[in-house]
Amino acid sequence: MEKEVLVEVKDLRISATSDEGVEIPIVKGVDFNIHKGEVVALIGESGSGKTTISLASLAYTKPGLHFAGGEVKLRGDDLLSMDPLKQRSIRGAKVAYLAQSAAATFNPALTIGEQVTESAVLHGILDQEAATKRAEELYEALELPDPQLIGNRYPHQVSGGQLQRLMAAMALCGKPDLMVLDEPTTALDVTTQIEVLKAFKKVIHEENSAAIYVTHDLAVVAQIADHIVVLYSGEVMEQGPADQIINRPQHAYTKRLMEAVRPKPIAGLGTDVGAEHNRDTDNLEVREVTAGYGGNVNGEPKIPILKDINVSVKNGHVVGVIGESGCGKSTLARVMAGMLPAARGDIILDGEKLEGSLQDRKLSELQKVQFVFQMADTALNPKQLIGNIIGRPLEFYHGLKGKEKHAKVSEILEMVELPPEFASRYPMELSGGQKQRINLARSLAATPEVLLCDEVTSALDSIVGANVIKLLTNLRDKTGVSFVFISHDLSTVASFADEIVVLYAGRVVEQGPTDEVLVPPFHPYTRLLISSVPEMRIGWLEDTMQKREMAVGISRGVEMTSVGCPFYNRCPMAMDGTCNTTIPPILKLNDGHEISCHLTLDQLNEVEADTRRTLDAAEA
Amino acid sequence: MMMRMVLQRLGIGIATLFVVSVIVFVITSILPGDVADIILGQSATPETLAALRAELGMDQPWYIRYFSWLGNLASGDLGISKAGGASISSLIDSRIWNTLIMAGMVSLISIPISIVLGLWAAMHPGTRLDRIVTFGTLSTISVPEFFIATIMVLIFAVKLKWLPATLYLTGNENWSELLKAMAMPMITLVIVVSAQMIRMTRAGILNVMSSPYIEMAILKGVPRKRIILRHALYNAIGPIVNVIALNLAYLVSGVVIVETIFSYPGLAKLMIDGVQTRDLPLVQACAMIFCAVYVILILLADIASILSNPRLRHPK
Amino acid sequence: MSEVIKNEDEILAKLDAFAELPDAPPKRKLKLSWVGKLASLVVIFWLVIVAIGPSISPHHEMDMDGDDSFMVAHDNEYGSFYLGTDHLGRDTLSRVLYGARNTIGIALLATLLAYSMGITLGILAAVKGGWIDMIISRINDAILALPSIMLGLIVIAALGSSVPILIGLAGVIYATSVFRIARALAQDIMVQDFVEAAHARGERIWWIIKSEVLPNAIMPLATDFGLRLVFVVLFISSLSFLGLGIQPPASDWGSMVRENLAGLSGGIDLDGNTVTSYAAIWPALAIASFTIAINLIVDDISAKSGGSLAKKMI
C-alpha cells in the first residue's frame, strides 16, 4: 500500500544573482516526493545543489540565492508562497534542520538545554517543563551520558560526537514531521560516524519521522535511506528505491559514482609493483623515532605524538599509513621530511643517516624527499602563477631557466594530466581536483625518490579523488617513485598501498604487506577500523554492530598512554594487569607482518573464529 | 583559569603603568637636555646654573631622579609649576573635577545612544536608515574633533545664538549656568564618541550575525527580536563592553581638543597651556594622569572581554 | 523504477574533460560603487593640489593683500579674493591651496615613514621570532600604551615643534600600529602550507619573504595605508589646531581653523557690517573632504560581511 505523501517537491528552481545582476540557475527543476516515515537521500558531489534543495523544505535559501520557481508542498500547503510569519512557524516545528558541523551550529553562549528546547517552547508545542523532559528522553534514546545533567552544560563542554547527537535532539524536540540532515557525519572519524549513524537511525525509526538525508557518501546512504535521489549540477539524474539505485543503478553518472566508492578493504587489492623498480632495498627508513611538540625535556618531547616508530619504505613501494585523527600520521610524514626534528631515533635515506632538521639537511637530500600537503588550497601561493609554482623547484634544484624551464613545466603538467595553458593561470582559477594535481606536480618537479602524500584525497569529491588515485598509480608505475601515503580512509589506502602501517595513539600497532594486514589475524584496533568502514550494502550497519569490538571500541576516545598498550581502554580482549602495565611485545608473522599485542597468535585466531560464529548466528 | 587570566591582566596593567611612567619621565626630563639651562635661558651664569641644578636634583643620575619623582607622584606631591610657582597639585585639583564631570556626563549620554543605535542598525542592515547611520558615523570618525566643534559653534552660537561660543567660568556659577556652559563641549564629545561606538557596536553584532548558529536559529524559526537579543547579543556583549571601555579611553584625546576650543577650564586645557609655555613639571603630571586613566580603561576592556567569554566562564 | 535519465553522455564528457568548475571565478576586478568613484575623484583632486597648489594660487600664502581681516569675497588691485580673507587679511583660497601641501604632504611623508619602519620591523619580528620579536614587540606595546595625542604633547613640550619633529613623531607613533598589522599578517602567512613547502624545499628566508610573504601582504597593507593616512592627517592637524603643529606663518589647514575661529562671529562684508566669515570653515571642509573620501574608498573595497543573514530573519 502506498504511504501518505508528506512533502511534494515540484519543478523546484533556485537561482543566484551574480555581481553583474545576471541570474545563474543553481537548481534547475527538481521533482521528488517524501512519504511519511521515509528517509530520502539526496546524493551528489559539491555543486550538485543538494544542500540548497534540502533547505528549500524549510522555505529557506542561503544568502545570495532565491527561489526562481516551482513549489515545495508540505501536506498540500506550498511553503515557498507562504507568508513569512507562517514560514517561521513551520521552521523548527514541522520541519527541523541538522547541520554538518554541530560545533559551529550550537551557540557558544547558551546552555545546550536552552537550545534543544527553544524551538519547541517558542512554537508553543510544549511548555518549558515538558520540553525539558522530552529532551531528557531524547538524550537517553541517543545514548548520551548523564541525560539529566547534560542540558545544563555549554556546547564547548561536550565532545564532537556527542554534540552531533545533541543536534539530533534539538531537531526532534518539537516532534517535527520532517527532519533535514545535512551531511551530519561527514566531519567525523569512522568509528564516531558509526556511533552517530546508529543513533540517528534508531531515533528516526522510533519517532516515525520522515527525513531528507543529504550526503556525498553512498555507503552511508545505503545504511539509512529508503529512497535515493541522485543529483548533478542542480538536476536529478536518477531516483528510485535505495535497493534499486545501489544494486542496479541505471544512469551512467550513478554508475560512475559507484565506481569511485572504494571497495571494502580486503586482501588482494594491493597491486604488484613493476619488477624494474622493485630493488627491494630500503629507500627511506625510520628507526626508533620518538617525536612531538613543545620542545624536549630529557630527550622526551613535552607533548609526545609518536613513540618508538619503526617503518621502512622500500624502493618503488607504496607504504600506506592509516589511523584516526590525532594518531600521529601527519607528524610521521613531517618527521620524515625534516619539518619536525625527532626527539630520538634516526631517519635513513638510501643508507645515509639524515639530519633531523631542514636547515642541516643537504639540498640533494631535501630534493629526494618531497612532501605533498593535504589542502591544495593553502599549499599553493594564491599570488603565484601555476607556471612559477611548478617552475620554482626546477630552477631551485636543477638550475633550469627560460625556455628549458618552460618546456619542462609543460611536460610536468602533462604528467598530471593537465593542459600546458594552465601555466599562466592562478590557483584561484582552478577546481579543487586540479589544484591537488598542481600540488602534486610541484613535488614531482623536484624529481624526488620518495613522495610523502598527506591525506591528498580527503578534501576532494569521490570521483575527483578516485581520479587522483588513478593518477598516483600511473605516476608510480612510470617514475618508480616510492610513496608514503597517509590517509584516514582504509579503503583508499588498501587499494593503493603495497604495505600498510596502522598507527594508534602515536604507536605502530600493526604493519606489513597489504594482503597480510587485511586478513586475519588482526590487531584488535585494525579489526575495529575494518569493521567501521561503511560498506555499500543495505543492512551492513546492523551486521557490524553485532561484532564484539564495536560495543567497546566505538564509544571511547583515544588516550595517550606512557605505559602499557594505548588501545587498552577500547579493546574487547584487554587483560587487566598486563595490557595496562606492560608495553606489548611484537608478534612477528609472515613476510614482515608485525602485530604489537599481548595476545598470542592462537588467541587472536580464536577471537576471529568467534566473530565469524556471531555473525553467522545473526544471519541465521 | 579565568581568575588567573584576570590577575595576569592586572599584573600586565601595573607593569604597563610603570613603563608609561618611565617613558613620560624620559621624554620630559631627559630628552630636553639641561632643564636648568632652559629655565634660566639668557641670564644663565655657570654659578646660577650649578645652583639651580643642585636645587632641581639634576646633579643626580637619572634613575635616582626618576625614583624620587615617582615616589613624589605616588604620595601626591606633583611638584611646583614653573609658571607662577604654584603647587601643581592645587592647580590640578581645581581643574580635574571639571574634566571628570564632563567625561562622566558624556559617557552617560553616549553609551545608551550608541548601543541602541548600533543594535538597531545591525538589525536592519542595508535599509535607508542604516545607510544614513553608517555614512554619518563614518564621516564623523573621519574628521578631526575640531571640525565637529567648529560646526557646532557655527550652528548653535553663530547662527542660532543659543549657546555661547566660548566661556569664561569664574567658579561661582549655579547649575543651570554651568550646564549651559558645558553644553557645547558636551554635544561635540557625545557626537565624536558615539560615532565610534555606534560603528563598533554595529560591526560587533554583524560579525556575530554571520555565524552558523544564527542561521541555525533562523532555521529553528526563532523570531528576529529573540535572535538579536538572546543569540547575537549574548555573544556580542564582550566585544561591546570592550568597545565602550576603549571609547571612554578615546575621550582622552577628544577632551584635549574640546577643552581648548571652548576654553573649558579642565585638566586638558591646563596641560595644553603647560605645553605651550613648556612648563615641563606640569605637563609631566597631567600626562601621567591621562595615561593612567587610559591604561586603566584599556585594562577594564581587556578584563571585560575575558569575563564575557563563555568558554572561560564555564570551563570544561 | 528509475524515473529520470538525463543527457548521460554530456555529463560524462564533462567529467572526463576536466570540466570541474573553478572554485572561484577568474580574478575579480576592483569595483567601486558610485560613492567610491566619487570619493576617488576627491582624493585625486587633493593630491593634484598638493603637487600644483602653489602655482595655481591667486596669491602667495603669506601676502596680506586683502582689504581687511575676515572680509567676505571681494576684488581689489591685488586680485580677487574668492573665499574672502583670513584674520590677517590673507587670501583664504590661496592658503587652502598652499595648506594642502603642508597638511597632506607632511602626513604622507609621516605615513610613509611609519610604513617603512612598521613593515620592516613587523616582518623581521615575525620571521625571526624569539628574542628579537620579544624586544621589538615589548617596545611597541610600551609606545601603544600611551594615547597618541599625549605622546605628541609631551614630546612637543620637551623638544618644541618643527616639521622634521612632526614627521618623525607621527612616523614613530603610527609605526606601532603598522608594526602590529604587518607582524600579524606576516605571522599568518608564515604558517601557511605554501611557506612551509618553501621551507621544506630548502629556500632561503629572503626568497620566502620576497616571493611568498610580501605578495600576499601587499593588498591588506595597502588598504590599511589609507586608514593610517587619515589618522596621521587628523593627528597633525589636531596638533596644528592646538598651535603645536606646523608653525605660522606657513599655511596649514589645522592652524587655519584655529586662527580664524573668531571670524565665525566677526566677519565683515563689503559695506562694513558684521557677518559670518567662513575663513575657518573652508580649511575644515578641506580636511573633512579628504579624510572622509579616503575612508569611503577603504569602506568600499573592504569586504562587506554579516548583513546577508540578518535580512533572512523574520
Grid coordinates of A541: 550497519
For residue B24, list chain C residues with Cβ-Cβ distance below 8 A: 146, 154
Q: Looking at chain A, which residues constitute the CATH 3.40.50.300 domain(s)?
A: 282-514
Hey, is the C-beta of C153 within 8 angstroms of any chain B C-beta?
yes
Query: What pLDDT does residue C311 have?
Result: 72
Q: Would you mind telling me the total number of residues written for chain B in this entry?
A: 316
> A185-212 as b/e, with b when 16 or more CB fall inside 10 Å?
bebbbbbbbbbbbbbbbebbeebebbbb
C258 or B1: which carries more pLDDT confidence? Answer: C258
pLDDT above 70 as % of chain A = 93
Topology of domain A282-514 in CATH is: Rossmann fold (3.40.50)
Averaged over B114-126, what is the pLDDT?
86
Give the nearest chain C residue to B38 (CA atoms). C158
Structure confidence at residue A274 as a pLDDT band (50, 70, 90): very low
Confidence of residue B172 (pLDDT cuts 50, 70, 90): low
Cell of B33: 637636555
* C-alpha torsion A349→A355→A361→A367, nearest 10: 20
Contact C201 A256 (CB under 8 A): no
Higher pLDDT residue, C84 or C95?
Answer: C95
For C4-60, write each residue's pLDDT tens digit: 445 666 666 665 544 454 444 444 556 778 888 999 999 999 999 988 888 888 787
pLDDT at A542 exceeding the cut of 50: yes
What residues contact A488, with CB distance under 8 A and at least 6 apart? A189, A190, A322, A323, A324, A325, A329, A455, A458
pLDDT band at A277 (very low <50, low <70, confident <90, very high): very low
Tell me the pLDDT tens digit for each residue of A62-107: 888 899 989 999 988 999 999 999 999 999 999 999 888 888 899 9
The domain segmentation of chain B, as residue ranges, is: 94-313
> Residue A414, Cβ neighbours under 10 Å: how many?
12
Residue C254 has pLDDT above 50, yes or no: yes
The count of CB pairs under 8 A between chains A and B is 71
Across the range B64-73, mean pLDDT stands at 82
- Rounded Cα–Cα distance for residues C262 and A112 (Å): 64
CA distances from B239 to A155, B201, B203, B211, B309 (A): 20, 8, 10, 15, 10
Which candidate from B23, B215, B290 shows the least CB-CB separation from C147? Answer: B290
Find, among B220, B119, B115, the residue nearest to C313 by Cα. B220
The reply to whether residue A434 touches residue C18, judged by beta carbons under 8 angstroms, is: yes
Give the cell for residue A322.
592509516
Least confident of A398-402, A440-444, B68-72: B68-72
More confident residue, B94 or A556: B94
CA distance A163 to A451: 37
The answer to whether residue A119 scores a pLDDT higher than 70 is yes
For chain A, report the end-to-end CA distance as a whole number of angstroms.
Answer: 29
Helix axes A432-445, A462-479, angle to 10 degrees: 20
Q: Which residue of C has its CA nearest to B209?
A: C306
Q: Do A97 and B218 touch (CB under 8 A)?
A: no
Q: What gap in Å lies between CA C152 and CA A473, rounded to an integer?
A: 67
**DSSP string spanning B275-288?**
HHTT-HHHHHHHHH
Cβ contact (<8 Å) for B218 and A60? yes
Domain boundaries in chain C? 52-76+103-312
Cell numbers representing residue A327 in the block: 594518531
Q: Which of A105, A381, A388, A389 to mutate to test the interface with C (most CBs of C within 10 A)?
A: A381
3-state SS class at C32: coil
Measured between beta carbons, the chain C residues lying within 8 angstroms of B144 are 234, 237-238, 241, 254, 284, 287, 291
For residue C144, give the 3-state DSSP assignment: helix
Comparison of pLDDT for C76 and A181, the residue scoring more: A181
How far is Cα A404 from Cα B81, in angstroms, rounded to an integer? 78
Residue in chain A closest to C23 (alpha carbons) equals A431
Average pLDDT over residues A357-373: 88
Homologous superfamily assigned to B94-313: MetI-like (1.10.3720.10)
pLDDT at C307: 57
Chain C residues whose beta carbon lies within 8 Å of the beta carbon of residue A87 = 314
pLDDT for the residue C4? 47
CA distance A581 to chain B (A): 29
Q: Is the pLDDT of residue A124 over 80?
A: yes
Q: Which residue has the higher pLDDT, A392 or A568?
A: A392
What percent of chain A is modeled with pLDDT above 90? 27
Residue B124 has pLDDT above 90, yes or no: no
The chains in contact with chain B, meaning 3 or more Cβ pairs closer than 8 Å, are A, C
Q: Which pLDDT tens digit goes with each residue over B266-301?
A: 888 888 888 888 788 888 888 888 888 888 888 888
CA distance C19 to A434: 10
What is the Cα–Cα distance from A53 to A213, expressed in whole angstroms? 11
Question: Superfamily assignment of C52-76+103-312 in CATH?
Answer: MetI-like (1.10.3720.10)
Higher pLDDT, A104 or A278: A104
Rounded to an integer, what distance in angstroms lies between the CA atom of residue B219 and that of residue A409?
Answer: 49
Distance to chain B for A157, nearest Cα, Å: 5
Report the pLDDT value the prediction gives residue C23, as an integer from 0 to 100: 47
Nearest to B92 by CA among B265, B253, B264, B261: B265
CB A113 within 8 A of CB A94: no
Q: Which helix (H) or strand (E) holds A71?
A: strand A65-74
Mean pLDDT of all residues belonging to chain B: 82
The reply to whether residue B234 touches residue A58, judged by beta carbons under 8 angstroms, is no
Whether A275 shows a pLDDT value over 70: the answer reads: no
Taking only the tens place, the pLDDT of each residue in A244-263 is 988 888 888 888 888 777 66
Cross-chain residue pair A250–C211, CB shorter than 8 Å: no
Mean pLDDT rounded to a whole number for chain C? 82
Q: How confident is the model at residue C218 (pLDDT cuts 50, 70, 90)?
A: confident
Task: Decide if C145 and B20 are in contact by the 8 Å CB cutoff.
Answer: yes
pLDDT score recorded for residue A265? 65
- Find chain C residues with C-beta within 8 A of B132's C-beta: none
- In the 8-state DSSP scheme, what is residue C101? I
In percent, the amount of chain C with pLDDT more than 90 equals 26
Residues 6+ apart with CB under 8 A from A129: none
Sheet holding A210-215, edge to edge: A95-98, A178-182, A210-215, A39-43, A227-232, A235-241
Distances (CA, A) of B55 to B32, B49, B68, B70, B274: 18, 10, 14, 18, 21
C-alpha A11/C-alpha A19 separation (Å) is: 26
Q: Which of A204-208, B192-196, C192-196 has the lowest mean pLDDT?
A: A204-208
Instruction: State residue B84's pLDDT score.
Output: 66
Query: Bridge-partner residues for A303, per DSSP?
Result: A293
For residue B163, pLDDT over 80 is answered with: no
Using CB atoms and an 8 Å cut-off, which of residues 244-273 of chain C contact chain B?
244, 254, 257-258, 261, 264-265
Mean pLDDT confidence for C209-213: 91
Give the mean pLDDT of chain A: 85
Q: What is the mean pLDDT of residues B92-108?
A: 86
Residue C1 has pLDDT above 60, yes or no: no
pLDDT at residue number A268 = 53
- Report the C-alpha gap between A40 and A230 in whole angstroms: 11
The answer on pLDDT for A306 being more than 80 is yes
Contact B222 A110 (CB under 8 A): no
Contact criterion met (CB < 8 Å) for B150 and C160: no
The predicted-structure confidence for B27-41, as pLDDT tens digits, reads as follows 887 766 666 666 666
> Which chain C positions have a beta carbon within 8 Å of A379's beta carbon?
193-194, 197
Helix (H) / strand (E) containing A230: strand A227-232
Give the confidence band of B113 by pLDDT, cuts at 50, 70, 90: very high
CB contact under 8 A, A122 and B230: no
Band (pLDDT 50/70/90 cuts) for residue B166 is: low
